[in-house]
Amino acid sequence: MTCSEKIALLTDSLTMCKNIGLCMDILNFESASELLKAATGYSYTSEQIQKIMGDSVDLQFQLNRKFGLTRKDDTLPDRFTKESLPRGPTMGSTVDIERMVDEYYDLHGWDN
């Protein structure tokens, strides 16, 4: 799991704006530890928070599978995978969603 993915999930979990959490690079695991301590009285290390975020993504994946979602549901709209851009630096290209999902599953250690 990437650091950006963990920060995005942490931002959602703390009900913060993702612009602040991701783009402005204000939120990190150390500051989240301080926020959680102030709000709850519980102490978490940066490493513990990162593990919790990773476990959360795995649990969401497992829950989605339990509800019947499959790899086929991990996709993008046709306009990204079948329609190429008519001009610009990425003219003629489309998103290779199968390769992207393969890489994402591999990153998380999930079965394809």
pLDDT tens for 82-94 read 998 889 998 989 9
C-alpha 35/C-alpha 90 separation (Å) is: 41
pLDDT tens for 43-78 read 999 999 999 999 999 999 999 999 999 999 999 999
What global pTM score does this model have?
A: 0.78
C-alpha 15/C-alpha 44 separation (Å) is: 18
The DSSP output letter for 84 is P
pLDDT value, residue 42:
96
